[in-house]
Structure 1
Amino acid sequence: MSVEATDPTSAVPQRSEVARLLVVMPALNEEGSVARVIADVMREQPDASILVVDDGSTDCTAERARAAGAMVMSLPFNLGVGGAMRAAYRYAADHGFDKVVQVDADGQHDPADIAVLIDAAGGTDVVIGARFAGRGDYVVKGPRKWAMKLLSSMLTTMTGTRITDPTSGFRLAQGRAVALFARHYPEEYLGDTVEALVIAHRCGLVIRQVPVAMRPRQAGEASQNALRAAIYLMRVITAVGLALLRRPPQISADPLSQR
């Protein structure tokens, strides 16, 4: 895997205040929206570095991301969001980034809310941008709704922190969480969100959620329909139980020591 940028000399940013925030966009065939999302992030967080993880796309996602000014990590084949984010966290830990914010490349996450996550990050390791916490009108229905309610109840009870949106992919990780996720980020679908929270909690990390509003997709179609998402959510409930049986990994307070 390699990381490329419009200017090759900027592909590996030096550790500085500018390089402290890395905005990561895992992307699979998002050529219709990725450039606009990058532009929105640049407008809202002009000092952040942006890394698009091209997760085996067969369209022009990578080319359009580079043209928009982002760094691009091209994976040789599709690993899923979990595999893409583990690679991104490893990159962040290796290059001295203190904060990593995950943003969907389809435009549903509003880059203006990155500031909301950062403002809530004091004293925490993971901040979740929650869709069901009082902002916006995002709703789910049917079996997916009840599966998510069950997951929410399980995670809230387990962590002692109210978590209404455990499957949100809009989140911030910093410090110890970057070190942990660089080596132990789950790769299964939805495990990358739910099981990651279980691992973080069992390692003593502090988790918080803040309300955010979702936007409509700017292009393309969702990769999962409601029925398939409900089935996967039930599988994740099983995975949560299995995760509790595993010994939690050991982490360092310094992400760079995990190289």
Structure 2
Amino acid sequence: MKKIVIIPAYNEQGSIVETIEDIKINAPEFDYIVINDCSRDDTLKICREHDIHVLNLPINLGIGGAVQTGYLYAYRNSYDVAVQFDGDGQHDAKFLKMMADTLEKENLDMVIGSRFIENEGFQSSAVRRFGIRFFEVLIRVLFGQKITDATSGMRMCNRKVMELFIKDYPKDYPEPETVSRLLRHKYKVKEVPVIMRERQAGVSSISSLGKSVYYMCKVSLAILIERLR
């Protein structure tokens, strides 16, 4: 199968080279594409200096638009499997083969890398763990399936899911909402244990209290609306 890693990148100059090296060393069977979301730092310059495969967006689309661009690229270039992978150094490429094997052998539509199955590695802050736990309960109540790490940006899918996502994808904070969408459509979704690291560089998009409150309200409402569709 043709497999590709989609790396949405916004101001990741401090970690993008190490992220690509990790993929090349630990997941050499995967191609990759960096989606540079109109970074204001030297992310694009560094990618070009290191001959990193990069698709440069002329305007900032946000995480949802960048990831959707990656899915569109993967679908149009006949990839069978696409995996979202953070450019900030949090994700570990050595788990990609295991995720792909699980996707194929169990005939799944999406595999999510969860840090909360075996609770190893970086577990995020207490506040964020509370939010993730809240989404776990909400999704289980509304859709009947336990998803321990709905906010995980380490997600692998098949072409059927790519086709769904290129038609419609949330602009911001898309992970819990799109997992809910797949569950509503009865797609087969499974989590597997992975170990994540602390962010190596850059700043989170929900680093402030105001953004955190907006995030919880927006995503919760989106999940509820998804259930009502």
| TM-score (ref. length: structure 2) | 0.91
1:22 to partner: Cα distance: 0.9
Aligned partner of 2:220 in structure 1 is 237
Aligned partner of 1:155 in structure 2 is 139
1:173 to partner: Cα distance: 0.9
Aligned partner of 1:185 in structure 2 is 169
CA distance in 1, matches of 2:28, 2:201: 24
- Paired letter, 1:238: L
- Paired letter, 1:103: F
RMSD: 1.7
The equivalences for 1:127-146 within 5 A come to 127-137=111-121, 138-142=123-127, 144-146=128-130
Report runs of 4+ in structure 1 exceeding 4 Å deviation: none
Q: Deviations over 1:11-57 (max 9, x none)?
A: xxxxxx5xx11101100011111011001101112132110000010
SS at the partner of 1:221? coil
CA distance in 2, matches of 1:72, 1:219: 19
Aligned partner of 1:97 in structure 2 is 79
Matched, 1:115 2:103: no
Q: How many residues align?
A: 225
Tell me, yes or no, if the aligned pair for 1:29 and 1:58 is still in contact at 8 Å: yes
- Amino-acid identity (%): 33
* Structure 1 pair 229–119 and aligned structure 2 pair: CA distance change class (3 A): farther
Tell me, yes or no, if the aligned pair for 2:92 and 2:196 is still in contact at 8 Å: yes
- Paired letter, 2:212: A
Tell me, yes or no, if the aligned pair for 2:85 and 2:155 is still in contact at 8 Å: yes
SS at the partner of 2:83? strand
1:226 to partner: Cα distance: 6.0
- Paired letter, 1:136: E
Aligned mate of 1:197, from 179, 192, 197? 179
Tell me, yes or no, if the aligned pair for 1:162 and 1:209 is still in contact at 8 Å: no
Matched, 1:71 2:69: no
Aligned mate of 1:34, from 16, 28, 48? 16
Aligned mate of 1:210, from 192, 195, 202? 192
1:206 to partner: Cα distance: 0.7
SS at the partner of 1:120? helix
Aligned partner of 2:25 in structure 1 is 43
- Paired letter, 2:228: L
Which runs of 5 or more structure 1 residues have no equivalent in the other structure?
A: 1-16, 247-259
Aligned partner of 2:6 in structure 1 is 24
- Paired letter, 2:197: R
Tell me, yes or no, if the aligned pair for 1:176 and 1:205 is still in contact at 8 Å: no
CA distance in 2, matches of 1:68, 1:167: 31
- Paired letter, 1:141: A
Aligned partner of 2:154 in structure 1 is 170
